[in-house]
Chain A
Amino acid sequence: MSDATVAVAPADDERLAYRGVFQRLLVRPEIGAIIGAAAIWAFFWAVAREFGKAGGILPVLAVASTLGIMAVAVSLLMIGGEFDLSSGAATGTLGIVTILLVKDVGELGGAGLSLFIAIPLSLVVALSLGWFNGTMVERTGLPSFIVTLATFFMLRGFKLGFSKLIIDNITVGRIDEGHGYDFWVKIFGSTWVRNDHQFEARDAVYTVGILGGITVLVLAFYEFNYLRKERFNSAGLASFVAGLGGVIAGIAVMHGTDGTGGNLAAGVIIGLSGVIAVFGLAVWRYEPRSLGALSLPSDVVLTAGGGLALIAAGFLCAWQFDVNSQESVLDVASALRWPLVVVGGGLAGLIMFKKRGAQISGDTQQQIQGIVRISTVALGTAFGIYAFMFMTTEQGLRAILFAAFVMAGFVLMAMASTHAGRSSATAKSIVQLVTSVAVVALAFFIQGQSGTPKFRTEVFTILLVVAMIIAGWALTNACFTARRATDAHADQLGSRLAIGGLVAIFVGLGIKLLFTTDAEILAGIPRAQFRVEFLWFAGVTALATFVLGRTKFGSWIFAVGGNKDAARQIGVPAARTKTQLFMIVSVAAWLVGLLLAFRLNTLQSGTGNGLEFEYIIAAVVGGTFLTGGYGSAFGASIGAFIMAMSKQGIPAARWNSDWRFAFLGLILLAAVIANNFIRTKAEESR
């Protein structure tokens, strides 16, 4: 269930239609979370510059790590059909237990153990805690919600009580005084400060990684989508290599020059060579398609023309845009404003009453509905008039019209492209090419008209990249034959290439994040700190993904969560599996407790309380069902990343962080709706 995209069906069935790479990606439980994470990151990056830099992203990763380790473990438990409300309090408890075992002060003298004994001992405590939860749930048959809620309160009490009893303080501190700290801090608390590590060839490695990764990803995409040729075309390979060389030359030009002129020249070189490279790659390996007779149905031309006209209308609205102007749109005498609001609202209500009045004569429920509807319309209209007269500046109105027209225009273009696709692939490609030209026009328009330079350059670049992707997609679709059948070899190659490309990109990004250069130190970049938590987080996620997807125990987790009776009937040790899941959660809590103890050195007795719901939210955002039986550990780690971004992003964007939970709630709702939608789609496409 967890690696449907990678697997190759051993025996192909002729009744199975070929599913393209997008359809196959859509059935993954975590796809919604990945898209959401990218969107939220892009959003915060647009409003808070730090999110594009190591200094901004690393604190997010630090929060995501401890949250994510727990979210991954909790997602396993939830797939197994249970909850653990004590998981949050357990993290603090196990950290505090470890420190208390080390202390040798206070009324009772303390145990004064070495960390070499205290850490394994607290692991034993963790295992027994999980065993207790699991056994209680299994023996009593009570819902795990109730049982672990009880454990949660007990742990809260123990934390406070034992801390006070042993060291007479609710702040349990100084793990660094324990014997063996120097050894254990390497495992649970080591850090890596980027500014201490220079690597002059960093940018070259980064560029090669990113470029190579993108190229390989494009190739993987081709492999999934197009029919391979019997004999490869060496001219295509040559033009690919030439194009790649052009891209590198363009990047060199960009580094070597200053100012807008140089950037523009480099941009043109990079863009053109990129198209040549991508196209050459396709010519090299894939079967060309005969273009056939070109026909553009009149409705397609009409829709596309309408779309272009709307986009142009949008441009007209925002021509000579001045962001600083505060001029109001309507200059209505102030005495007339409120009467206008009342009259407008009343009029709207009256019209609604004329239309829907008949309904009000029905039964009580219909009467209520009718009244609610009429008053909504009346109040809405009144508010609209009010907002228009009191709040809208001329520039604001123009911005709204611009956005509305342009958006509607692109929606029409998309419709035209779908319509065209019904008649021929060539027609569709032509509409897509026109769309990409419109995107380029939009990019230049925004660059020329909009206010802040940061917004200008970033939106410009993004729009150009989007245009390039649309154009490339349109061109290759027009020129090459789409694959319509499963091809085990091509699928395998495609998925290997996709993984390889992603790895190359991540290595490039990692190198860029991990090291610094002379020039940057001279410019005084902020210190960026990597923590060992990140590795633990990655390791736990990878391990859990492997266990879920590839082991017996993983199958059993899905089975006990999906249908416990059936699982038991067929011979799965259901009670044992569930107990082990509770123990996995408490061991994760032990790990997180130690990571926190070594990071903070001192733990408050309230540490971790209330975080259990964040773990559950992260798991659900990542595609795990609240009802059990379905989900993904990788998704949960992405969910944790989303939570961490919202925690860190709101202060970074200098918003009032009081609103954080409202934002979290929205994300949760959106994630659940998206997951539900994806699940329906997935079941259809099966």
Chain B
Amino acid sequence: MSSLIELDNLGKFYGNIIALQGVTTEVHAGEVTCVLGDNGAGKSTFIKVLAGVHQHDEGEMRLEGEAMKFNSPREALDRGIAAVYQDLAMVPLMSVWRNFFLGAEPTKGAWPLRWVDKKEAKSVAKAEMAKMGIDIRDTEQPVGTLSGGERQSVAIARAVHFGAKVLILDEPTSALGVKQSGVVLKYTLAARDRGLGVIFITHNPHHAYPVGDRFMILNRGKSMGNFAKDELPRDELVRMMAGGAELDQLTHELESAGGSGGGA
């Protein structure tokens, strides 16, 4: 399997603050690469560098073997890197189909009489979402009336439709309930099965483990290593996530305090 994105010793500084340093990983097509980390681990910086919001200061990012530095989200999008953010993915008052095609509306006619081909847009939006297994009742309904999970799903379907090669999901499940999270995880796998390289960013190892093929753990801006799924049992992942030894100590303290709780 060829690697879509290779990161080599990537670093990002904000003034004297080291947000990210020495991050090395690979993203493969048809695989879910999970990036895990607690708050402040550097996850957001990592996404922003990949999606073109910020530029890295150190190391190299290679897209299909070619060294890259994106100047804007649009540029990253044009190269096939689509980011789906948890809260700012959609315009709530606009209909599903308008959101789906926002910024890339199919048009008919010649300028200045060029209009959006509404019928086409609606049927494509519905069909594309159906292909992902997302069943929207009415593409004319405002996105604001959808549930959080459905919104994420529409955003994923949109990225897939517009030919994204790499899909970055930023904490897609953090604001969702158990069922809704399950829905989003299902679509994450659907995107993977369609041959995309998925980067799944989360602080929840229980969501990451079932969908992930590879894991990279960030702590305090540094990578704690890359692991394939078979090298890393779930408990170990949870332990590393929470800072390994620190959690052991916490469990120990809690137990000695007399409580029976503390099981991971």
Q: A interface vs B, CB < 8 Å?
A: 1, 4, 7-11, 13, 15-16, 546, 550-552, 554-556, 558-559, 562-563, 565-572, 629-630, 683, 686
Contact = CB atoms under 8 A, between A and B. Distances in A.
B137 A570 contact: no
6 contacts: A11-B126, A555-B116, A556-B103, A570-B102, A683-B144, A686-B141
Interface stretch (B54-62, B81-89, B206-214, B227-235): B81-89
A514 B1 CA distance: 76
Interface centre among A565, A568, A569, A683 (most CB of B within 10 A): A569
B216 interface: no
B194 interface: no
B91 A686 contact: no
B118 A7 contact: yes
B107 to A, nearest CB: 7
B142 A683 contact: yes
Nearest to A4: B140
B93 A630 contact: yes
A686 B138 contact: yes
Given A558-B94, A562-B92, A551 B142 contact: no
B140 A9 contact: yes
A9 B138 contact: yes
B105 A555 contact: yes
A559 B104 contact: no
Given A552-B107, A562-B92, A562-B93, A569 B85 contact: yes
Contacts of B88: 563, 565-566, 569
A1 B116 contact: no
A13 B135 CA distance: 10
A556 B104 CA distance: 10
Contacts of B28: none
Given A562-B92, A565-B88, A555 B102 contact: yes
Interface residues of B, number: 37
Contacts of A683: 142, 144-145
Given A16-B137, A565-B88, A559 B116 contact: no
A559 B74 CA distance: 16
B13 interface: no
Nearest to A683: B145
B93 A550 contact: no
Contacts of B119: 7-8, 10
Contacts of A556: 102-103
A412 B124 CA distance: 50
A16 B90 CA distance: 23
Contacts of A13: 137-138
A554 B144 CA distance: 19
A683 B142 CA distance: 8
A15 B74 CA distance: 37
Contacts of B137: 13, 15-16
A8 B115 CA distance: 17
Chain A interface helix/strand/loop/mixed:
loop
Contacts of B115: 546, 550-551
A491 to B, nearest CB: 13
A550 B116 contact: yes
Given A550-B115, A550-B118, 12 more contacts: A1-B95, A7-B140, A10-B119, A11-B127, A551-B115, A555-B98, A556-B103, A559-B103, A563-B88, A571-B102, A571-B104, A629-B92
Contacts of B92: 562-563, 629
A8 B98 CA distance: 15
Contacts of A551: 107, 114-116
A572 B102 contact: yes
A566 B122 contact: no
Contact of B73 (A552, A568, A630): A568
Interface of B: 73-74, 77, 83, 85, 88-95, 98, 101-105, 107, 114-116, 118-119, 122-123, 126-127, 137-142, 144-145
A211 B127 CA distance: 44
Given A4-B140, A15-B137, A566 B89 contact: yes
B140 A559 contact: no
A686 B123 CA distance: 19
B236 to A, nearest CB: 35
List the 3 shortest-distance A-B pairs measured between CB atoms, nearest first: A562-B91, A571-B103, A10-B123
B193 to A, nearest CB: 24
A8 B140 CA distance: 10
B106 to A, nearest CB: 9
B118 A570 contact: no
B122 A1 contact: no
A566 B90 contact: yes
B119 to A, nearest CB: 6
Nearest to A565: B88
Given A10-B122, A562-B94, A571 B114 contact: no
B94 A686 contact: no
Contact of B142 (A7, A569, A686): A686
A11 to B, nearest CB: 6
Contact of B126 (A10, A16, A686): A10
Contacts of B73: 568-569, 571
Given A7-B140, A566-B89, A571-B77, A1 B145 contact: no
Contacts of A8: 119
B208 to A, nearest CB: 24
Contacts of A630: 93
A556 to B, nearest CB: 8
In this complex, which of B98, B102, B119, B126 has the most chain A Cβ atoms within 10 angstroms of its Cβ? B102
Contacts of A566: 85, 88-91
A540 to B, nearest CB: 15
Nearest to A682: B142
Nearest to B118: A7
Given A566-B89, A571-B77, A686 B145 contact: yes
Contacts of A7: 118-119, 122, 140
Most buried by B among A559, A566, A572, A686: A566
Interface centre among B88, B92, B119 (most CB of A within 10 A): B88
A563 to B, nearest CB: 4
A66 to B, nearest CB: 25
A144 to B, nearest CB: 19
Contacts of A565: 88
B98 A1 contact: yes
A347 B260 CA distance: 69
A15 B135 CA distance: 11
Nearest to A554: B116
A562 B88 CA distance: 11
A558 B138 contact: no
A131 B63 CA distance: 38
Nearest to A563: B91
Contacts of B139: 9
A1 B83 contact: no
Given A1-B98, A566-B89, A566-B91, A552 B122 contact: no
B98 A567 contact: no
B102 A567 contact: yes
B83 A569 contact: yes
